[in-house]
Structure 1
């Protein structure tokens, strides 16, 4: 008790020293108590030494084995823990407990089938033990076997609402949602009497997947009220507002989210898209550029900005943008194609040709590209190359009579020339 008082007064060194000095004269029950205190305080090596000594004297004492196995797990010595737990006999009262611990260890090692077998064996010994059903549910849930997990969670639900601070209805909702049963999942989330942001966020996600955006929006609005720093909610809520035809609310939500989560490229891009809807082209460009600054190869954002520049005939800006992102490692044949188009618009034909050729290396199976490239080559007076490209195009699009006629005239003029 003196050691406990010292520890509570933040005099940990004195507390441990006191117990170490007392150990040689302590009886076995006291040594066991000292080991328990060491475990409680996180002095696992010291506790391990005491319990190992006690186990030598009492080799069949399962309680010591279970305690020592717990310590080995804490010290990340899983093999030693497994050896100890496997040493507990079937007729021992601690046998089912040892199987549960073994299952935990095997699960941590990725041996899921072995873990499941251990738990199923434990269930034969303790068929009504909630913790075993919970462990089976959690194991199966973790590996994506949601339907099997549901059967175990359903056994727990009538007995208790929560195990190890995990809501059973919450898990049933998640498992049904992951199985695509969104309406059913929603009914479980509605039963979760929780003001916890995680539960409300998942409730909103399930409602959204069940096409109940009204419920999703209310749930996510609640999340923001409870915890304004729950950053993952802002993108979902802004997106839901947008889909419900509420772009102003969506934009405001995205802006609030960016104050908290300033490295979220998807949120920047959504903000840019929403600003465009609200006819704020300067804001739109600003936010989309922020998204691209975070990820120069964010293809969706890059192509969106290119379309914006096309609409306002800012072809030089397209060139600057693509050259800049390519220097930063971005790579996509569509960038080469867009660069070729932009150079063509600003009448930099040699550059346009170079980038059309670069794009051709990877887009030679894209009929739209081949058609455009063929016309470009024709305008540049490169008739032989154009004929080759149109021939390839017609293999893919044999019913395009317009190109067939155009190609016929092209070949005729080449022959005549």
Structure 2
């Protein structure tokens, strides 16, 4: 599925010829809905009429990126930039593509330049932090997010990324505050509740963590991460029957997820159910020899 937070899906250039503006809007809508083949055909038809229309070529680049064709995406985006060097959306797309293509240093350069040129554009801040994470430079990434959280205090994604960086750096109290900020912006996000529960649990507040996990499941009853984490907490609390239910639910919802299978195998080992545990360990090995 496409990243619908991308600026491409929020704007259609005012310079778009009126004759094709409706077609372009329709193509973007198809793309946003994940109907990639239809969107690609629509973008190509637009380029057949107006070959100079960069937005359509940019759309084709993003579809290539969605399909894992990074080299093709880089070529198309680079061509768009050559025709419109000041376009922030194209430059942002290049950074994202470089990151996905395994070129984080080049992506870092791109995102830093974007932040310098357009400091009020939120996406480069987020992606610079993610790029630094990919480079295992967590402290630098947290610094970027700390500054961004002051610039964009009402954006939950910033607080979520900040909390995740703090959690990785074992700054659990700080991470809790960041996740609470994100939760204040969107009280119904199960991922935020899940992340908050993880850091609350890390501070040995098990009952409070349970409440957060159950609240997340009220919103998203089939969220495998929540079931897995809840199962682990229940196991730590000695509530084996309930723990097994949630660990099995996580493994059922994600039958090829190594973490879910491994957690269930470890639980069964602790319960001295060796044969069952071995079955799940074998599934893990089959997925990742």
TM (norm. structure 2) is: 0.67
Q: CA deviation at 1:154?
A: 1.6
TM (norm. structure 1) is: 0.49
SS in 1 for 2:41: coil
Q: How does 1:374-413 map to 2 (within 5 A)?
A: none
Match of 1:215 in 2: 174
2:221 paired with 1:262: yes
User: Which of 176, 198, 205 matches 2:164?
Assistant: 205
Q: CA deviation at 1:185?
A: 0.8
> Hey, what's the Cα distance between the residues in 1 that align with 2:282 and 2:22?
63
Match of 1:285 in 2: 241
CA separation of 1:102 and 1:212: change in aligned 2, threshold 3 A: same
Match of 1:139 in 2: 97
Unmatched 5+ stretches in structure 2: 1-16, 29-36, 256-260
Q: CA deviation at 1:148?
A: 1.0
Match of 1:171 in 2: 127
Q: How many residue pairs get matched?
A: 247
For the Cα contact (< 8 Å) 1:292–1:302, is it kept in 2?
Answer: no
> Hey, what's the Cα distance between the residues in 1 that align with 2:167 and 2:225?
18
For the Cα contact (< 8 Å) 2:172–2:203, is it kept in 1?
Answer: yes
* Higher RCO, Cα 8 Å, sep 6+: 2
CA separation of 1:305 and 1:221: change in aligned 2, threshold 3 A: farther
Match of 1:253 in 2: 212
Q: Which has the larger radius of gyration?
A: 1
CA separation of 1:287 and 1:268: change in aligned 2, threshold 3 A: farther
Match of 1:390 in 2: none
Q: CA deviation at 1:77?
A: 4.1
CA RMSD of aligned residues (A): 3.9
CA separation of 1:161 and 1:196: change in aligned 2, threshold 3 A: same
Match of 2:267 in 1: 304
Q: How does 1:186-197 map to 2 (within 5 A)?
A: 186-192=142-148, 193-197=152-156
SS in 2 for 1:194: coil
2:116 paired with 1:158: yes
Q: Deviations over 1:71-99 (max 9, x none)?
A: x98572455455556xx5xxxxx5xx54x
